[in-house]
Amino acid sequence: MSIYSRIAGTGSYLPEKVLSNHDLEKMVETSDQWIQERTGIKKRHIAEAGQTTCDLAEQAAARALKAAGKTAQEIDLIVVATTTPDKIFPSTACLLQQRLGNHGCAAFDIQAVCTGFVYAMGVADKFIKTGAARTALVVGAETLSRILDWNDRGTCILFGDGAGAVVLEAADKPGILSTHLHADGAYEELLHVPGGISRGFDMEADGADPHFMQMKGNEVFKMAVNTLGRIVDETLAANGMKKSDIDWLVPHQANIRIIKATARKLSMDMDNVVVTIGEHGNTSAASVPLALDTAVKDGRIKRGETLLLEAFGGGFTWGSVLLNY
Ligand code: COA
pLDDT of residue 172: 96
The reply to whether 116 and 201 lie within a common domain is no
Q: Which of 173, 189, 207 is the last residue of a domain?
A: 173
Residue 224 Cα distances to 24, 128, 280, 285, angstroms: 25, 30, 20, 15
Q: Whose CA is nearest to atom 29 of ligand 1?
A: 38
The reply to whether 209 and 141 lie within a common domain is no
0.75 exceeded by the pTM? yes
How much distance in Å is there from the Cα of 188 to the middle of ligand 1? 19
The reply to whether 168 and 29 lie within a common domain is yes
Residue 174 Cα distances to 30, 94, 200, 264, angstroms: 46, 29, 45, 27
Q: Whose CA is nearest to atom 1 of ligand 1?
A: 30
Q: List all residues 6 or more positions away from 199 whose beta carbon is below 8 Å from its beta carbon.
A: none
pLDDT of residue 294: 98
pLDDT of residue 199: 93
Task: Give φ, ψ of 74 to 5 degrees.
Answer: -80, -15
The reply to whether 151 and 268 lie within a common domain is no
How much distance in Å is there from the Cα of 254 to the middle of ligand 1? 12
**Which residue numbers are catalytic?**
114, 252, 282
The reply to whether 163 and 242 lie within a common domain is no
- Burial zone of 198 (CB within 10 Å; 0-12 exposed, 13-18 middle, 19+ buried): exposed
**CA proximity to 14, closest of 39, 63, 50, 47:** 47
108 lines ligand 1 (CB under 6 A): no
The reply to whether 220 and 159 lie within a common domain is no
Q: What is the CATH number of the domain that holds 192?
A: 3.40.47.10
The reply to whether 163 and 198 lie within a common domain is no
Residues 35, 218: Cα–Cα separation, whole Å:
15
217 lines ligand 1 (CB under 6 A): yes
How much distance in Å is there from the Cα of 205 to the middle of ligand 1? 23
Estimate to the nearest angstrom the gap between the alpha carbon of 218 and the chain centroid: 21
What are the residue ranges in the chain where pLDDT is below 70? none
38 lines ligand 1 (CB under 6 A): yes
pLDDT of residue 231: 95
pLDDT of residue 1: 83
The reply to whether 226 and 82 lie within a common domain is no
The reply to whether 258 and 155 lie within a common domain is no
The reply to whether 187 and 240 lie within a common domain is yes
Give the range of the structural domain holding residue 120, as residue numbers without chain letter.
4-173
pLDDT of residue 204: 79
pLDDT of residue 269: 95
Atom of ligand 1 nearest to the CA of 257: 39
Q: Which of 173, 196, 231 is the last residue of a domain?
A: 173
Helix axes 53-68, 92-100, angle to 10 degrees: 50
DSSP string, 205-221: TTS--TTS-EE-HHHHH
Q: Whose CA is nearest to atom 22 of ligand 1?
A: 218
Classified as helix, coil or strand, 119 is helix
The reply to whether 155 and 253 lie within a common domain is no
How much distance in Å is there from the Cα of 38 to the middle of ligand 1? 7
* Whether 136 contacts 105, CB under 8 Å: no
The reply to whether 148 and 189 lie within a common domain is no
Q: How many domains does the chain have?
A: 2
pLDDT of residue 203: 82
How much distance in Å is there from the Cα of 33 to the middle of ligand 1? 13
Length of the chain: 325
Q: Whose CA is nearest to atom 8 of ligand 1?
A: 154
257 lines ligand 1 (CB under 6 A): no
69: left (phi over 0), alpha (psi -120 to 50) or beta: left
Q: Which of 139, 154, 173 is the last residue of a domain?
A: 173
